[in-house]
Structure 1
Amino acid sequence: MEEIQSAKNSRVKEWKKLLTKKGRDQTGKYMVEGVHLLEEAIKANEVVEIMVQSDFAAMDAEQLKQYPVTLISAEVSRAISATETPQGIFAVCKKRTVSVDLSVHRRLLLFDGVQDPGNIGTMIRTADAAGIDAVIFGEGTGDLYNPKVIRSAQGSHFHLHVETGDLSEWIGKLKAADIPVYGTAIENAQAFTNVPPTDAFALIVGNEGAGVDPAILDQTDNNLYIPLYGQSESLNVAIAAGILLYHLRKPI
């Protein structure tokens, strides 16, 4: 099998485009890196091709035979990696096309203008752990397929239904489906402990600096806050989401 050695190779340039939102939007593809994410992508049947360093030996070669595999040099690995220390194995994946069905997907997390990729990925991973069914990316929210989001989510985006849409429209759909909608706020809100766990709910979390848009908060059934007992002025949005998701979700 021939090895691509130069980062100037035309195929390498195409792979590098997937590190940008424009490139991902144009091709409908994105890239994952590392054994764990590749294994999750294989389970989800979303792998298009695999690129692996010729000296990489941390994965069973039998798993790779069903896909087109290209050997790459360490130079190419560094060129297409979104990290400082490449793991030596990559996969191009097709973007997911899924639809949220509110008759089935009854526990949802909605993002209103959340921008930090680490926070987005962490919340997707937390939502997965908490048994949430779907995540909705509202206006102003970062890109699901940003390499930092994918890395922080650790494969959880393969397990959830994720859609992008207008949150006002989604709130209308949720209410029509008898799913209570909770915003997160500091003022004109009640302590989250006053709301009992439930089988169905939608939680909206907002921008790291501005929070949830007041126009969105006006449309919710209830807005919740987390009491702060120390001197900190606020909680990180991903931490707050974790606390609220686990509280609202009715234990099995």
Structure 2
Amino acid sequence: MQKFISSFQNQAVKRILQLQEKSRARKKEHVFVVEGIREINLAIKGGYQVTELYYTSDLFPAEKAENLLSLISNPVDVTELSSEVYQKIAYRGSTEGVLAIVGSRELSLQNLTFKTKNPLILVAEAPEKPGNIGALLRTADAAAVDAVLIANPRTDMFNPNIIRSSVGCIFTNKIATGSTSEIIAFLKERKIAIFGAALQASVPYHSVDFTGGSAIVVGTEATGLSCEWLENTTQNIIIPMEGAIDSMNVSVAAGILIFEAKRQRR
């Protein structure tokens, strides 16, 4: 029999709030919260396991819940929430009335494989803002890069802000995390050229050859790339700036560089 929750004091409600707010809670249970029909669909298509589904029939009719459940092969615990309870736990302002508890993954370099001998990889060093990480994942999805590597991550990749700002592209990209040293070693072992977006000893980005295995590495807007990256790049590249300021948003810069690589590869 399907459960119905109308109390804010229910333990399931408190648990969902903990999973949304606390990285420690997500890591302890190896699960995270996904809100919205598109994001849940992308998680399912990406092979993530949905274990629990919560919805309010005021916004998400029961037949829609049935349609969603038909896409999931494993057993799912389904709970209907009152509209008031759902609004309390909804992370997004304009919510669709459905959220899921999803099993997380080890985003390990060791698990990463490529379908091509000349992969195109986006590397971001120590990104802090979930919104920037989400935007980088959207850019990577748009260009269909072979992988996104996050060096020295400062935030949990299953943070609800990353899922929201990436509009579910965390599920459409191959993603791995590791230290700067680990990622440099990974790239060098596979003879992948490392192109660092940096001012020092750089050439215009359109003058380098991205047709071989290539990693485009971007740092934070505040500090740029660390010395360890700068000492290990094949070539540093720069986007010539013609206005009054000397930098741009990291996801915008990454998009320019990635799509130049895609243009060359056509």
TM-score for both structures, normalised by structure 2: 0.87
Structure 2 residues without counterparts, runs of 5 or longer: none
Q: 1:177 and 1:2 mapped to 2: Cα distance? A: 51
Give the match for residue 125 of structure 2: 112
Deviation at 1:233, TM superposition (A): 2.5
Distance in 2 (alpha carbons) for counterparts of 1:61 and 1:69: 10
Partner of 1:5: 6
- Asked whether 1:61 is paired with 2:71, we answer no
Matching of residue 202 in structure 1 with residue 215 in structure 2: yes
Report the counterpart of residue 18 of structure 2 in structure 1.
17
Offset of residue 40 of structure 1? 1.2
Residue identity over aligned pairs, in percent, reads 32
Distance 1:150 1:60 in 2: 21
CA contact (8 A) 2:150 2:176 kept: yes
> How does 1:228-243 map onto structure 2 within 5 Å?
228-243=241-256
Deviation at 1:81, TM superposition (A): 2.0
Does structure 2 retain, via aligned residues, the 8 Å contact 1:112–1:141?
Answer: no
Which residue type is aligned with residue 185 of structure 2?
G
Aligned equivalent of 2:46: 44
Question: What runs of 5+ residues in structure 1 fail to find an aligned partner?
Answer: none
Report how far residue 199 of structure 1 moved: 4.1
The within-5 A match list for 1:1-252 is 1-19=2-20, 20-46=22-48, 47-57=50-60, 59=64, 61-64=66-69, 66=72, 67-97=76-106, 99-101=111-113, 104=116, 106-249=119-262, 250-252=264-266
Displacement after TM superposition at 1:236 (Å): 0.4
Q: Tell whether the 8 Å contact from 2:131 to 2:161 is kept in structure 1 after alignment.
A: yes
* 8 Å contact from structure 1 (residues 3, 71) kept in 2: yes
Q: Helix, strand or coil: the match of 1:158?
A: coil
Stretch moving more, 135-144 or 222-231: 135-144
Describe the shift of the 1:199–1:215 C-alpha distance in structure 2 as closer, same or farther (beyond 3 A): closer
Is the contact between residue 137 and residue 169 of structure 2 (CA under 8 Å) also seen in structure 1?
Answer: yes
Q: Secondary structure at the match of 2:229?
A: helix
SS class of match (1:156): coil
Paired with 1:141 and 1:225, the residues of 2 have a C-alpha distance of 25
CA distance in 2, matches of 1:162, 1:140: 12
Q: How many equivalent pairs are there?
A: 252
Distance 1:45 1:174 in 2: 26
* Distance (whole Å) between structure 2 residues aligned to residue 13 and residue 163 of structure 1: 30
- What amino acid is aligned across from residue 45 of structure 2 in structure 1? K
Shift of 1:97: 3.8
Distance 1:174 1:68, change over 3 A: same
Instruction: Write the deviation string for residues 89-123 of structure 1: whole angstroms up to 9, x where unpaired.
Output: 10111112461125747221112111111110111
> Matches of 2:42 and 2:208 in 1, distance apart?
35
* 1:176-213 deviation digits (Å, cap 9, x = unpaired): 21210111112321110111331421111112311111
